[in-house]
Amino acid sequence: GDSVTQMEGPVTLSEEAFLTINCTYTATGYPSLFWYVQYPGEGLQLLLKATKADDKGSNKGFEATYRKETTSFHLEKGSVQVSDSAVYFCAPMTTDSWGKLQFGAGTQVVVTP
Amino acid sequence: NAGVTQTPKFRVLKTGQSMTLLCAQDMNHEYMYWYRQDPGMGLRLIHYSVGEGTTAKGEVPDGYNVSRLKKQNFLLGLESAAPSQTSVYFCASSYRGDYSNQPQHFGDGTRLSIL
């Protein structure tokens, strides 16, 4: 079945540092790919998405590129802020329809001033 | 816009008690989902619905039942609560459209403790 592997956290960074969170997946076909963010005490919010190979999703300074060859969708941000402290989830959409998502375990990011 | 609203936000139950979690969405979405979130395990799909009157099992359905009598509401029931069901429960909904790329919209969660 489909599966997602995310780098383990917590990832602790200083403000203005570069952030990268690795995500690889296994799937049948070419699923749409999503990154969600969860701030403390809140639900998940869509951060960005990519729907086909070589697409780059971007939002709030975050970027991720759909790499079909390596089945990866790594999340990057060039200069993090304290407000970026959250848990980040990689979530490919399952290819058996109905819009279901397969979530990774999540990566906690802590940004210190 | 309210989006996805979950009721209640917190609840403590005793083992063996029953309860229902309510999810309501005002976006006219066809698809709705119930997840549970446990530490280190991400979100796991319990049940989902692709339209009014339809439900289907997800990854971890045992011990839960669901109903979708109205398009905007999706109910999750625990008939006989067990400590293993202590978790944070999230509801989500999405537009059908081209279902391969429609994002899910999440509620703020229900924190449930079973003693």
- Whether B90 and chain A come into contact, CB under 8 Å, resolves to yes
* A106:B42 CB<8 A: yes
Pairing relationship of beta strands A33-38 and B73-78 according to DSSP bridges: unpaired
Transcribe B33-86 into DSSP letters.
Answer: EEEEE-TTS-EEEEEEESSTT--EE-SS-TT-EEE-SSTTEEEEEESS--GGG-
Measured in whole angstroms, the distance separating CA A17 from the mean position of its chain's CA atoms is: 18
Residues of B whose CB is below 8 A from A43: 4, 90, 106-109
- Calculate mean pLDDT across residues A57-70: 96
- Calculate mean pLDDT across residues A84-106: 89
Q: pLDDT grade, residue B3 (50/70/90)?
A: very high
Assigned token pair, A77: 């941000």
- Calculate mean pLDDT across residues B102-113: 94
Distance from CA of B100 to the nearest CA of A (A): 6
Mutation for B interface: A45, A103, A107, A108, most B CBs within 10 A: A103
Distance from CA of B52 to the nearest CA of A (A): 14
Give the phi and the psi of residue B105 in degrees, each rounded to 5. -110, 130
Nearest CA in chain A to B57: A100
Of B35, B94, B108, the CB nearest to A99: B94
Euclidean distance between CA atoms B32 and B37, whole angstroms = 16
Asked if A64 contacts A33 with a C-beta cutoff of 8 angstroms, the reply is yes
Asked if B12 contacts B67 with a C-beta cutoff of 8 angstroms, the reply is no
Asked if A36 contacts A91 with a C-beta cutoff of 8 angstroms, the reply is yes
Residues of A whose CB is below 8 A from B99: 97-99
Residue ranges of A 83-112 with Cβ closer than 8 A to chain B: 89, 93, 97-101, 103-106
Q: pLDDT grade, residue B6 (50/70/90)?
A: very high
pLDDT digits (tens, 9 = 90+) for A14-57: 999 999 999 999 988 888 999 999 998 889 999 999 998 999 99
Percent of chain A with pLDDT over 70: 98
Q: How far apart are the first and last CA of chain B?
A: 35
Q: What is the pLDDT of residue B98?
A: 64
Which residues sit opposite A34 in a β-bridge? A49, A91
Q: What is the pLDDT of residue A9?
A: 86
Average per-residue pLDDT in chain B?
93
Environment class of residue A47 by beta-carbon count within 10 Å: exposed (0-12), middle (13-18) or buried (19+)? buried
Q: Which of A60-64, A93-97, B105-109 has the lowest mean pLDDT?
A: A93-97
Euclidean distance between CA atoms A55 and A72, whole angstroms = 12
How many contacts, defined by CB atoms under 8 Å, are there between A and B?
59
Assigned token pair, A24: 């690889």
Q: pLDDT grade, residue A1 (50/70/90)?
A: low
Distance from CA of A15 to the nearest CA of B (A): 25
